[in-house]
Amino acid sequence: MKNITKQQSTAGFTVVELLVTLFIAAAFLMSGYQLYDVIMKDGGDARATARASNVAYDYLQRYKPNATNPCTALTPVTNQTLTDDIIANATVSVTISCPYSTPTIPTTTTPSISKVLVTIKYNTPQQTLNIATYVKP
């Protein structure tokens, strides 16, 4: 006589394996969302910095002709509000200074080199971008 033994088939997942798989899937989804959030934030910051740099360069080119010979210190723009879709809460200041004039050292020549400095403050929390050039009119 043949001895017939019953074998159990284990097809599919057990409850524990299913829970572990769901936990790992949830962990991957959360880390993916965090990565997406970081990329979006850093991309937005880089875009705002690039836009602020472009605006500062435009102001620099606009106010370079205001440098005089001999150098005269001026502040043609002080905390002027900018309206822009990319940079929020933005203000711009333009300062023309005489970096080589020293009142304590008498010179026979007057300084002719001017420094044009554009400062843009933007975003919340506030970030500051400075761009400058030297001009010899």
Q: What are the pLDDT digits (tens) for 114-135? A: 999 999 999 888 999 999 999 9
- The residue with tokens 């602020």 is 52
Distance CA 124, CA 69 (A): 39
For the chain, how far is it from start to end, CA to CA, in angstroms? 115
3-state helix, strand, coil in the chain (%, to 5): 40, 25, 35
Q: What are the pLDDT digits (tens) for 58-113? A: 999 999 999 888 888 999 999 999 998 888 899 999 999 988 876 655 555 567 88
Q: For residue 135, what are the β-bridge partners?
A: 114
